[in-house]
Structure 1
């Protein structure tokens, strides 16, 4: 897995309880141990990897859904407009046979976001 894929994975899977850090000197992505956290805060080469925002990812799912027509589009939008839209969207994408396309689309979006983030460091 290359650096951009590691950062994209951290971006997509990070949350309040699980945060990833990026060391710009070693170009490594880490989940620090509890006792290492203070050391990392003092190191200027260490950056906290941003995490996806639920509103932002909802819009990404809408953009993905807009690529389709007919029953596929209908199923995806019905899922997005119902209860627990994130879970329902993945279930609907699986049922209509586009789940792998969704994962690829989501990963490419995350890689684009992380590339931009790296350029801004």
Structure 2
């Protein structure tokens, strides 16, 4: 069963700004607010004034921050073969080259753990800034999955 933190980190890491994600404070659900044609679910009715307080915009990682995270990972991996990660981040198409180098070095799993941990830390900071109680929201999320 998926957990709320997984949903929040996926929304955070989806850096496509055409994918607006919101946290439903009543149900604890993460909602992708696109046209029903794309999601199969009705979008958020922003004409309903109650929805302005019900939904909170989930932050997203931007490309410069994502680049910084890749640099941190390259610094985090200290062995000589990982120097290739720094080389990949220089020049044209650093994101593509970084991912290709991860595959070449067989360190995708390590990268995914590092990136997820970073995203979780950012989400926790966001929740604290907005004084949102994660435990309470996670219980609502769990209840909405069982309903």
Give me the TM-score of the superposition, normalised by structure 1: 0.89
Q: Matches of residues 13-52 of structure 1 in structure 2 within 5 Å? A: 13-34=14-35, 36-39=44-47, 42-52=51-61
Alignment of structure 1 residues 97-116 onto 2, 5 Å = 97-116=106-125
1:71 equivalent in structure 2: 81
Partners of 2:57 and 2:73 in 1: CA distance: 28
- Partner SS state of residue 82, structure 1: coil
- In the superposition, the TM-score normalised over structure 2's length comes to 0.74
Larger radius of gyration between Structure 1 and Structure 2: 2
Which ranges of structure 2 fall in alignment gaps of 5 or more residues? 36-42, 131-147
Distance in 1 between residues matched to 2:28 and 2:107, nearest whole Å: 33
CA, structure 1 residues 77+14, in 2 after alignment: closer, same or farther (shift >3 Å)?
closer
The answer for the alignment partner of 2:127 in structure 1 is 118
Q: Please, what is the CA RMSD of the aligned residues?
A: 1.7
Deviation at 1:88, TM superposition (A): 0.8
Aligned-residue offset at 1:56: 1.1
Using a 3 Å threshold, how does the CA distance of structure 1 residues 84 and 31 change in structure 2: closer, same or farther? same
Quickly say closer, same or farther: Cα 1:33–1:62, change in 2 above 3 A.
closer
Distance in 1 (CA, whole Å) between partners of 2:52 and 2:112 is 34
How much does 1:13 deviate? 1.0
Seen in structure 2, the aligned counterparts of structure 1 residues 19 and 3 have a Cα distance that, compared at 3 Å, is same
